[in-house]
Amino acid sequence: MSKITRFSVSVEDDLLEKFDRFCKEERFATRSEAVRQIIRDTLTRRAWEGKTHEAAGTLTLVYDHHRALLRDKLLAVQHDHADHVVATLHVHLEHDLCLEVIALRGPADKLQQLAAQLRGLKGIFKGELVMASAQT
Ligand code: NI
């Protein structure tokens, strides 16, 4: 764990009131916790805009498993990008509904392209990519 540094921030009273309300609603233990998370989120978002930044993420898909072609395509695309697919978790939600969480790792732009390709397949009901920086 890296060393903690304290710094002070000047902010208008009304903005601080709003921020404190936000911290309470989002159940942050302290203002510092909230600020740290907001800084990390902002830096992660920025990093994702940089194409070659090393990133990690999860792609969550919900789909109809009775579409045999879809299952085949999902597997084929993942095998084509085996260097970026770290692991998959498959959950049988209902008789014909599957949830799949695919852990990805690699350059941000490659992961976004791969997620778009998978999410765009016919028969996917929901697809959401959650991104994280693979670097601190
Ligand atoms: Ni299933």
Token pair, residue 114, equals: 């791969």
Tens digit of pLDDT at every position of the chain (136 positions): 688 899 999 999 999 999 999 999 999 999 999 999 999 888 877 776 666 788 899 999 999 988 879 999 999 999 999 999 999 999 999 988 999 999 999 998 899 999 999 999 988 999 999 988 766 6
pTM score, whole prediction: 0.71
Predicted pLDDT at 135:
67
| Cα 94–Cα 91–Cα 109 angle in degrees, nearest 5 | 125
Q: Are 125 and 65 in contact (CB under 8 A)?
A: no
What is the CA(76)–ligand 1 centre distance, in A?
A: 17
What is the CA(91)–ligand 1 centre distance, in A?
A: 6
